[in-house]
Chains A and B, each alone.
Chain A
Amino acid sequence: MTTTESPKRTAQVRVPVRGRAWWIERRTLGVVVGCAVAMLVLGFVGLSFGSSWSTPGEVLGALTGTQPSVVIVEWRGPRVVAAILFGAALGVAGAIFQNLTRNPMGSPDIIGLDAGAYTGALLVMTVFTGATTTVAFGSVVGGLLTAALVYALSRSGGLSGMRLVVIGIAVNAMVTALNNWLVLRAELEVAMAAVGWNSGSLNGIDWDDLILPFSVIAVLLALASLRAQALHQSALGDAVAVATGVGLERQRLLMVFIGVGCTATVTSVAGPVAFIALAAPQIGRRLARAPGVPLLPAALCGAVLLQLADLIAQMLLAPVSLPVGVVTTAIGGCYLIWLLAQEVRRR
């Protein structure tokens, strides 16, 4: 066997690491850089915007400490960081579910997380009349229990994407019916508050709120990046994945755990934020022109998308701040319409 000179690989960039190499698609690199720039710009705008616009100078001053500003650092800062962090977490969760179900329309909603979280929150609000932190706790418990139920019911004999979706629909329907009933029986003000919670919002987040979520999400995302290669290998079909050495059962469980963990964490702080998990991975995939549903572009697009949505939510009806979930839902609507247009064009 002769050693052969492989043809020039122009589409990739070679990063030498201690005698070996790390190949990165040129396009992915472009997307990473582009998204990073977008995040910085949007972050800057987010720090500047408020009841009164701050000048770039003031923002820089606040960041470097030369011109301290409570507004910029204590109020807007956490919000910007939350948008980036939560957007990335949701993007990764969506990418995981789309890989698992092998379908571009998969998302964590199908496993009943959002509906279950709402149930938990509703129960706390109506039956236990709890405070905000209790609501957060209730939502996490509700979401996790529902997801566990769906997962357990769909497990037998290996995880099949289709079965997961069908059972998810069934459980979702039951849980949503329960939620609707709880809302019905509540007092109008409680109902309004509950419905408001269910729209997802980044209002009023401060640094204390972010400590725990940040740690949890950081760990989960680190885990996800280590297992990303196995996830992408699974996209080749079960048979090839197992035959090339992917421990499929364990891999899937872990990825579901990460996806659920990310979504539940975000929901506990901000309420359910719709559609980032659905749209970001697909947008990221198309930008990066990468095969399958890669995790990194999904995370970055999720972050950018949520930042954008939050800015729109704040600016659209200023000084009233819309719940960011309403804006992301509108984005979701546009996304579906865009998909529709693509299908029609493809005919």
Chain B
Amino acid sequence: MSTAPTQAGSAPPTRNAPSRIGRSAVLAGGLVALLAAIVASIAVGAESVPLGQIWPALTDFDPLSGDHLVVRDIRVPRTLLGIAVGAALAVAGALIQTLSRNPLAEPGILGVTHGAGFALTLGAALGLAGTALGELGLGVAGAVLATVLVYAVGRHSTLRLLLAGVALSAVLQGVSLGVRLTSPDTLDKYRFWSVGSLAGREQTDLTIPLVAIALALVGALLVARSLNAVALGETVAHTLGANVARVRTVTLVLITVLAGAATAVAGPILFVGLIVPHLLRRLTVGSVPWLVTLSMIVGPILMLAADTISRVVLHTGEVPVAIVTAFLGGPMLIWVVRRYGAGSL
């Protein structure tokens, strides 16, 4: 292969091992950054809301104030959505990477989000996707099918897993294409949905997906401790007393709920599940609970930042957030691979 040495996980980190202080500092810093991101997400946009108006809008609502309306009816729901989707995708990515011991796995790349998307398109064409619950169900079902397929075919090696994900995404997109070609309506509706975006969802009923995501996040925290053992490999995990099969099933369920719900409500968004755990990996070596916790904070930061950018980057209107994440995540992935080699991801 290439003449560069691979450091596949066997090289110890060159800095000191992550200390409690380091992680706690990041946690605290992360919370502060999250707060800043939330404020920015509420304030920035086509109509900027002066910072001084945000708190009154939340506490002392004045129905006649344009700013207050924007904050309450548009920005806050969108921010909540951004937090939920960001957390869901980041944690789903962290879980997949831990479970498959594969640093390149993420719901987008593996086609899981495309699976959810495909199920939703099919459901829309068949008239099943009317209700929020229905959409959630379709999204999760699609995510499950995609996960099972990709995992089964691509189990053996990282390369195979990635390529299986690529192939699956292509199939799903192709078949959705066939479905959409038969009816311009579905095509029209789909082309707006097919680019992940947080815009325009404020009117839909968000309670069900948000609750599902919240529950799954709690579940992720609970299973994180057991994942510590499983991350060391099946045989070792067994000897440490972890019930590998059960942990794996629970984790897969959580992944599909998180990815499925996030996609059902916001459309396919790539790379969040890849970037966030990757950024945090060096810091959280050996501790899955820390990885999950920090992902739940950094994910929303990334998502809100991307969403805010998406609102202001073009003068003529919004750019769907999935495009922003693609253009943020893509170059980053390329840079990492070129700098550190494909083996050390």
Contacts and interface: CB of A to CB of B under 8 A. Distances in A.
B329 A278 contact: no
Nearest to B333: A170
Nearest to B341: A163
A110 B166 contact: yes
A158 interface: yes
A274 B173 CA distance: 11
A219 B191 CA distance: 40
A50 interface: no
B331 interface: yes
Given A195-B177, A195-B180, A329 B160 contact: no
Interface in B242-294: 270-271
Contacts of A29: none
A177 interface: yes
Given A103-B159, A174-B327, A180-B195, A326 B149 contact: no
Given A162-B342, A326-B174, A333-B171, A157 B334 contact: no
Question: Size range of the interface on B?
Answer: 35 or more
Interface stretch (A2-10, A16-24, A181-189, A253-261): A181-189
A163 B163 contact: no
Contacts of B18: none
A11 B87 CA distance: 59
Interface string B314-344: 0000011011001101110110011001110
Given A340-B152, A343-B152, A157 B184 contact: no
Contacts of B154: 105
A198 B2 CA distance: 35
Contacts of A166: 104, 162, 333, 337, 342, 345
B174 A329 contact: yes
A309 to B, nearest CB: 12
Contact of B334 (A170, A181, A326, A340): A170
A153 B333 CA distance: 11
B1 interface: yes
Contact of B330 (A171, A180, A278, A344): A171
Given A153-B338, A170-B334, A343-B153, A184 B320 contact: yes
B178 interface: yes
Interface string A212-234: 00000000000000000000000
Contacts of B4: 157
A218 B276 CA distance: 47
B158 interface: yes
Contacts of A110: 163, 166
B61 interface: no
A173 B326 contact: yes
Contacts of A162: 158-159, 342-343
A153 to B, nearest CB: 6
A153 B334 contact: yes
The interface residues of chain B, by DSSP majority, are classed as: helix
B153 A109 contact: no
B170 A195 contact: no
A183 B166 CA distance: 21
A292 B159 CA distance: 17
A198 B174 CA distance: 9
A177 B327 contact: yes
A69 to B, nearest CB: 32
B167 A157 contact: no
Interface string A129-163: 00000000000000000000000011011111111
Contact of A105 (B3, B104, B164, B184): B164
Nearest to B194: A180
Nearest to A343: B152
A173 to B, nearest CB: 5
Interface centre among A110, A166, A184 (most CB of B within 10 A): A166
A103 B152 contact: no
B166 A169 contact: yes
B330 A329 contact: no
A326 B171 contact: no
A177 B323 contact: yes
B270 A173 contact: yes
A174 B174 contact: no
Contact of A336 (B167, B191, B192): B167
A158 to B, nearest CB: 5
B181 interface: yes
Nearest to B158: A162
A169 B333 contact: yes
Contacts of A106: 163
Contacts of B187: 188, 191-192, 195
B320 A181 contact: yes
Interface centre among A163, A170, A333 (most CB of B within 10 A): A170
15 contacts: A101-B163, A153-B338, A157-B2, A158-B2, A158-B3, A160-B2, A167-B337, A172-B166, A173-B326, A191-B187, A191-B191, A192-B181, A195-B181, A333-B175, A343-B153
Interface of A: 101, 103-107, 109-110, 153-154, 156-163, 165-167, 169-174, 176-178, 180-181, 183-184, 188, 191-192, 195-196, 198-199, 238, 274-275, 278, 322-323, 325-326, 329-330, 332-333, 336-337, 339-340, 343-344
Given A181-B323, A329-B170, 14 more contacts: A158-B2, A163-B338, A166-B104, A170-B329, A171-B334, A173-B271, A177-B326, A191-B187, A198-B177, A199-B181, A238-B1, A323-B181, A326-B177, A336-B153
> Which 7 A-B pairs have CB atoms at the shortest separation, nearest pair first?
A329-B174, A105-B163, A177-B326, A162-B342, A174-B330, A170-B333, A170-B330
